[in-house]
Structure 1
Amino acid sequence: MTESVAISLRQISKCYRRYTHPVDRLRELLLPERVQAKEFWALRDINLEVFQGETLGIVGQNGSGKSTLLQIVAGTLTPSAGEVHVNGRVSALLELGSGFNPEFTGRQNVFFNGRILGLSQKEIEAKFDTIAAFAEIGDFIEQPVKTYSSGMIMRLAFAVVANTEPSILIVDEALAVGDARFQARCMKRIRQLKEQGTTILFVSHDSSSVKMLCERAVLMNHGCILESGSPKEVTNHYIALLSSDGPEAFLPISEKFMPVIAAGNEDIYENSLDRPRSGGTVTDTMSTNAEPNFESIALGTRDPSCRHGVGIAKISAVKIMNLQGQELIKFETGTAISIEISILANEDILDLVVGISIRNLVGLVLYGTNTFLIHREPLVLTRGQHLIVSFKVPCHLNRGVYTLTVAAHSEEGLSYDWADELLVFEVFNSGKCDGLIDLQAKTESCIEPTTELLRQI
């Protein structure tokens, strides 16, 4: 295996022996010539190479062998035949709480799993605060894992595997357990690891995530790889495969990754240097010399990496409201919303620009604009003034979970204050369309006259 190859699988097969009755195992031990078991091949002759830094999506129906394949790569399962070569440290998120001892506390499990992953005691101690902050389970970190909810277990498990600098990251549909805000954080962390050159194996039933996150995808069915190629083609064939098995086998792909949004208006603390993109037209209203009429959210109090800027202006509060002034974290497609941003001027400012950027969970910018693009002139503030900018936006987003980034910067692009993926919100609709946006199409239909009728006319 060359250094450019992170994972090499050659002629991998996995066979399980199934017995009709438990006593058949004993009979086979006593009478080995009389085979009592039936063979089930979970994998057959798998050949696959994954290159260093590549993000590979794996799709397939339940029972197609995806999890078995990942367990073999992770080293938790031995193949019945074939060769496995893995080049680098592997961190795997395969099953809820796998590798956790329920009797140990969260802290003890962090150190235990860290040692399994090959980290020294000092390395784990240096990373522990980062892991605990990412998990956000508070004092439960000192309690036994058996007292955790499923969401808390997933938070801690992902925090460990994502913050131990893996060479290879394996994620097996585990993120569907978390709430919307935590899923947004996890997807962002996966994007960061991808940018850092981490090799990623990503299993998901959400075809849009596979298309946007992965460079290549494979389709598995009945323990075999049916296809390997571009994520677009592979996921389209996957959907066709689901449809061909009858209505009872069909899964609502677009809803599989849809989490239940958590109550609250909390922020996301991750690092990104993306800037809001231009596009579209909105109307906005501004007022100055007024105290914000809503409570400030905690901006950057735990992880300052999500914020940057010289501090001439400060974003003190952000909310999504409807036109009646009610705060929203979940609303329907077509709702007219107002994104309210409060800015405090720490110095006199002659060239202030306030912008917004809306992204989906895989980081795709769906809409971005700012006050300069709309008005073609910067805003002016004097030291100590408060500015409330309200972007009035008709929401045409389709159902899904999205993040909001807000920024205050100069006309030349100097960042005064930047809060990346600050809010997470959910959009729902009646399922009239697929895709990222709802263009609210209308239909008309009529029956054309037949040829015989035309002759009579």
Structure 2
Amino acid sequence: MSEVRIAVEGVSKQYFLYRSPGERLLHIGLNIVPRGIERFNALSDISFNVRRGECVGIIGRNGSGKSTLLYIIANTLSPSRGTVRVNGRIAALLELGSGFNPEFNGRENIFFYASMLGLNRAEISERLEEIIDFSGIRDFIDRPLKTYSSGMAMRLAFAVTSCIDPEVLIVDEALSVGDEAFQRKCMMRLTRLKENGTTILFVSHSARSVTELCDRAIWLDRGEMLMDGPPDEVMVAYQRFSHLDSERAAAYRQQVKERDPEFLSQGENRKANKEKLLLTAAGQDEAAELGSGITASFDPNMVPESIVIHESHGALIEQPRICEVAADGSLGAVVNTLVRGRDYAICYIVRFTEDAQDVAFSANIQTVNGTMLGGGSLLKEGQRLVAVRAGEEVAAQHVFSCRLLRESFFVSVGCSGLRHGERMPLHRITDALMFTVLTERDYNGNGLVDFAFRSGYTILPAGEHLNPSAPNSAEK
């Protein structure tokens, strides 16, 4: 059994909400609890273990207790009850600029911050160039930190915490400050650290980041741990919860707490569907024998059990389906087993129950584990409907070329509009459809996406080099 790096047992954190400085003095100075003082439970009886090399995502709405939990694990905050044991050197990126002195320059702050994380001067000097290179701010490294932008400070902080090879790394939403290129760079560094045995606690509101990076996800709400399980399972339940009104959310929350199987089986259902959807109406093996002559078909058993129908705000999406697209652009049969390289359309009807303005439509395709591969939308100016009256229906369609390989996929659809001057969803259905792509026996592509590779080889005479402009390669 792998080593437990973090052990959280029955941790609770309670705050007293003082009504006056006198109450604070009475309580803190004389240890007398004033009568009627209000208590706030930031955390309530949290318990879990994290093992070596495991990455755990912490999710939840703002104010749910995520940061409080991380501060306690990092030993910068004491629990009211319970214990936390951390085995190994810990590095925490909890708050932008924490551990830095704004009067020091970047180079001085590297030594200052890394020394607080347990490195001596020789160890820091050995890693100095790697830290500066990773941060990407070498031109500013000798300037005072107070002249840095928030993104530059975050780059430096992440570079220090990740380049010292910590045994436990805690990251609290800090990566959202960086640009896309640096965020990707950070994700790759986190992946490398995880592969090398670093235990990671990762707070993020990005479903994609959690499902791609984490082995488990923990969902906190109002200081309570509602779920601890596979990332895709927890994210589906959390996203469903996030779009409910307060009354429905309270009932849903209770069902999750009671471990109702209907709400806790989404991830397993997706995994089961992944295997189930490889079966077609004609049979996968039979289809493979047909070679390039395979045709799309419809399997009535291919129904997504992970569907989430979100609350309506003046519109209802009905009849979502995938249709073949003919050469002349007309729609053909409804299908859910597709053929690589052919065109299809994601279609649905939107029935408006209220007047709506500036209406747009969207659809996206996701993998079984929730990674969004791409989508289409009508959001640009001139593509949106200026106004729609209550009672009207609109047929939306998103044509796409199936550049996917043999695998199962999910389709989510949505409709948005302006309400009170802000764009918001009028209706959405997550995992409204699922489909699989038929296999081709002689096609040499692999992975998920068909990039239309032309693979081949050339045998070179001794001493000659390949001329890339004219390879004698065989197309497959």
Question: In structure 2, how many angstroms separate the alpha carbons of the residues matched to 1:377 and 1:35?
Answer: 83
**Where do residues 248-287 of structure 1 align in structure 2 (5 Å cutoff)?**
none
Cα shift at 1:366? 5.7
Cα shift at 1:149? 0.2
Is the 1:10–1:82 Cα contact (8 Å) retained in structure 2? Answer: yes
Is the 2:460–2:466 Cα contact (8 Å) retained in structure 1? Answer: no
- The secondary structure found in structure 1 opposite 2:12 is strand
Question: In structure 2, how many angstroms separate the alpha carbons of the residues matched to 1:105 and 1:334?
Answer: 53
Cα shift at 1:172? 1.1
* Equivalent AA in structure 2 for residue 154 of structure 1: M
Post-superposition CA distance 1:178-212 (Å, at most 9, x none): 00111110011011111111111111111222122
Match of 2:73 in 1: 73
- The secondary structure found in structure 2 opposite 1:99 is coil
- The secondary structure found in structure 2 opposite 1:110 is helix
- The secondary structure found in structure 1 opposite 2:201 is strand
Is the 1:280–1:369 Cα contact (8 Å) retained in structure 2? Answer: no
Post-superposition CA distance 1:292-334 (Å, at most 9, x none): xxxxxxxxxxxxxxxxxxxxxxxxxxxxxxxxxxxxxxxxx99
Question: In structure 2, how many angstroms separate the alpha carbons of the residues matched to 1:31 and 1:192?
Answer: 49
Query: For structure 1, which runs of at least 5 residues remain unmatched after alignment?
Result: 250-278, 283-332, 337-356, 358-364, 390-409, 412-457
Is the 2:99–2:113 Cα contact (8 Å) retained in structure 1? Answer: yes
- Check if 1:372 corresponds to 2:454: yes
After superposition, the Cα gap between the structure-2 partners of 1:386 and 1:211, relative to the gap in structure 1 and judged at 3 Å, is: closer
- Check if 1:10 corresponds to 2:9: yes
Query: For structure 2, which runs of at least 5 residues remain unmatched after alignment?
Result: 250-338, 343-397, 402-444
Question: In structure 2, how many angstroms separate the alpha carbons of the residues matched to 1:388 and 1:168?
Answer: 51
CA RMSD of aligned residues (A): 3.5
Post-superposition CA distance 1:368-408 (Å, at most 9, x none): 647533xx56599986977599xxxxxxxxxxxxxxxxxxx
After superposition, the Cα gap between the structure-2 partners of 1:36 and 1:98, relative to the gap in structure 1 and judged at 3 Å, is: farther
Q: TM-score, normalised by structure 1?
A: 0.55
Q: TM-score, normalised by structure 2?
A: 0.53
Match of 1:183 in 2: 183
Match of 1:444 in 2: none
- Check if 1:168 corresponds to 2:177: no
Is the 1:58–1:218 Cα contact (8 Å) retained in structure 2? Answer: yes
Post-superposition CA distance 1:211-258 (Å, at most 9, x none): 2211111111111111111111111111122122459x9xxxxxxxxx
Post-superposition CA distance 1:235-289 (Å, at most 9, x none): 1111122122459x9xxxxxxxxxxxxxxxxxxxxxxxxxxxxx9779xxxxxxx
After superposition, the Cα gap between the structure-2 partners of 1:3 and 1:377, relative to the gap in structure 1 and judged at 3 Å, is: closer
Cα shift at 1:44? 1.0
Match of 1:118 in 2: 118
Question: In structure 1, how many angstroms separate the alpha carbons of the residues matched to 2:22 and 2:459?
Answer: 81
Cα shift at 1:117? 1.2
- Check if 1:44 corresponds to 2:126: no
- The secondary structure found in structure 2 opposite 1:225 is strand
Question: In structure 2, how many angstroms separate the alpha carbons of the residues matched to 1:33 and 1:193?
Answer: 46
Is the 2:6–2:50 Cα contact (8 Å) retained in structure 1? Answer: yes
* Equivalent AA in structure 2 for residue 52 of structure 1: R
Match of 1:209 in 2: 209
After superposition, the Cα gap between the structure-2 partners of 1:36 and 1:26, relative to the gap in structure 1 and judged at 3 Å, is: farther
Identity of aligned residues (%): 47
Question: In structure 2, how many angstroms separate the alpha carbons of the residues matched to 1:129 and 1:367?
Answer: 38
- The secondary structure found in structure 2 opposite 1:200 is strand
Range moving further from structure 2, 150-159 or 238-247 = 238-247
- The secondary structure found in structure 2 opposite 1:154 is helix
Cα shift at 1:32? 3.9
Question: In structure 2, how many angstroms separate the alpha carbons of the residues matched to 1:75 and 1:184?
Answer: 29
After superposition, the Cα gap between the structure-2 partners of 1:31 and 1:227, relative to the gap in structure 1 and judged at 3 Å, is: closer
Question: In structure 1, how many angstroms separate the alpha carbons of the residues matched to 2:49 and 2:31?
Answer: 42
Question: In structure 2, how many angstroms separate the alpha carbons of the residues matched to 1:185 and 1:69?
Answer: 26
Question: In structure 2, how many angstroms separate the alpha carbons of the residues matched to 1:137 and 1:334?
Answer: 43
